[in-house]
Structure 1
Amino acid sequence: MKVRRQCKAEVHFGEEYMKSEKGGAIVIGGSGGLGSAIVRRLAQDWAYLDLTFRRNATAAAGLSEELSDKCSIASHQLDIGDENRLEEVLQAAHKRSGALRTIIFSSGMHIPQVYVSRLQAEEWHEAVQTELMGFIALVRYALPILRETGGSIVNVGSVAPHRFVIGDALSSVPKAGTEALCRAVAKEEGRYGVRVNTVAPGIMRVGIGGQLMETIYSSEIWENSRRNTPLQRFGDGEDIAGAVAFLCSSEAGFITGQTLIADGGLSL
């Protein structure tokens, strides 16, 4: 069945793809709450779309089934710490699409809210390895492909480095590192036509943000945060997916090294 669905999509789109963006895109961490919203949005623009999952094969399979009539889609199991597998997945997406044009990094982990003074070395190590070193490895293996295709990277970061919340150092410190790397790569690789940008979500109702709402703090504290947000609401997956879709599209062809904060005005 999977082969028939893929062939059907490829025949339907043909050589011209019938999409606004040429080539393919891949979402690293595309099976999660936020990642899946990004995948659904990109399926509207890209003829070839790949996504990765770490453990939730069921969610990835369901998403692929849902979108199989909109684009040629494939999912891959990936632990971001496995660099050999990471390179293999990127090359597979590049070969399948004929030209991998954009890579979205939406991989993350549940971050405990702990004071810096109480954090242990192993907690720092896990956060840095997943949030920062994973992105560093992705950039290293992505650049040869993106130099060839003149493509882009969109890093899904966080508003945390811009509006620090007590207890959130495990999130803000590594994500500040990914933003800095985006600026460095944008500066160095622009001569090859490679663009790199960050989308920084605020408080989200989906994915890890939604988990935090259920596990820490009281409903009164969350409600106070909502009231202090100028738009008077928390973010949905579609809010971030739209920003990502713009930054990896040809319409953002002159934008690089930037951080687009999508937080409803919370950081003002």
Structure 2
Amino acid sequence: MTKGAAFVVGGTGGLGSAICRRLSTEWDQLAIGYRSSREKALAVAASLPNNSCEALSIACDLSDRTSIETGIRETVEQFGAIGTMVFASGVDIAQPFVSQISEEQWREVIEIELVGLTRIVSTTLPYFRAQGFGNFVTVVSVANYCFPPGDALSSVPKAGMEALGRAIAKEEGRYGIRANMVAPGIIDAGLGADFLTSLYSPEIWEAQRRRIALQRFGSGEDIAEAVAFLASDRAKYMTGQTLIVDGGFSL
């Protein structure tokens, strides 16, 4: 079903670790990208449900092109090829209104998320072209389809990330390369889990839950399942698409 290794950028985060665990059930080789804590990457590797999946902890600092190039090269040297590159990393973002966002805040998020993704893409594409296969799966946000006030700092860079994914799909398909996106809704994992306990009141979150068609917040496993599908050959005729996984929040 799969060729090469799965590489998860941000593999130690709430969503990233769930994605790693899910991918390990289908991929024999997995690179867990981390920025600063190798111990967290090793803990994710120890939690994989498939003991036969060979896991490699890879330092991958999105602000440092050399770190990215070294990490991807080491992964290819270890596993021979990368079959999917999953981007599940991001900045710890507050929820200010547009009028309250400073230029420094914009620059930080755009540099790490949008520009960081361009560094991942430009480094990975030559390997994918040489192999004649490979795909990107990028975790974005449902806020680009149903905007909640206060989410601009997150959603604006992710709109650019979606546009980049569509550009890859259009231009690189001739080389056997796909690119798709997953847009989570309100997820009880990672930064979303922090928001549910620290941002707004329980009454506001309960009102948001009732707004969701399926009447519950999503889990990291819900997002991981969508990522695993798009990364696999089950989605081999899908490219340039955004799969919204929000339980009906955006309806």
Structure 2 residue corresponding to 1:80, chosen from 33, 53, 62: 62
Residue 215 (structure 2) aligns with: 232
The answer for unaligned runs of 5 or more in structure 2 is none
Question: What TM-score does the superposition give when structure 1 sets the normalisation length?
Answer: 0.90
Q: How does 1:166-185 map to 2 (within 5 A)?
A: 166-185=149-168
Residue 104 (structure 2) aligns with: 122
Identity of aligned residues (%): 49
Q: 2-side partners of 1:148 and 1:40: how far apart?
A: 28
Q: 2-side partners of 1:121 and 1:62: how far apart?
A: 36
What SS does the corresponding residue of 2:20 show, helix, strand or coil? helix
Q: 1-side partners of 2:30 and 2:38: how far apart?
A: 17
Q: Deviations over 1:23-63 (max 9, x none)?
A: 21100000111100000000011111101112333221112
Residue 241 (structure 1) aligns with: 224
Q: 2-side partners of 1:26 and 1:122: how far apart?
A: 30
Residue 148 (structure 2) aligns with: 165
Q: Deviations over 1:122-143 (max 9, x none)?
A: 0110111111111111111111
Question: What TM-score does the superposition give when structure 2 sets the normalisation length?
Answer: 0.96
1:49 corresponds to 2:30 = yes
1:155 corresponds to 2:162 = no
Paired residue type of 2:85: I
Contact 1:109 1:208 in 2 (8 A): no
- Higher alpha-carbon Rg: 1
Q: 2-side partners of 1:131 and 1:218: how far apart?
A: 29
Q: 1-side partners of 2:205 and 2:193: how far apart?
A: 11
The answer for unaligned runs of 5 or more in structure 1 is 1-19
Structure 1 residue corresponding to 2:44, chosen from 56, 63, 87: 63
1:91 corresponds to 2:73 = yes
Contact 2:21 2:47 in 1 (8 A): no
Q: Deviations over 1:145-178 (max 9, x none)?
A: 1112210000011111111111111011000000
Q: 2-side partners of 1:196 and 1:125: how far apart?
A: 25
Q: How many residues align?
A: 249
Residue 11 (structure 2) aligns with: 30
Contact 1:83 1:137 in 2 (8 A): yes
Q: 2-side partners of 1:252 and 1:177: how far apart?
A: 23
Contact 1:27 1:106 in 2 (8 A): yes
Q: 1-side partners of 2:68 and 2:62: how far apart?
A: 7
Residue 249 (structure 2) aligns with: 266
Q: Which runs of 4+ in 1 moved over 6 A?
A: none
Contact 1:47 1:71 in 2 (8 A): yes
1:211 corresponds to 2:194 = yes
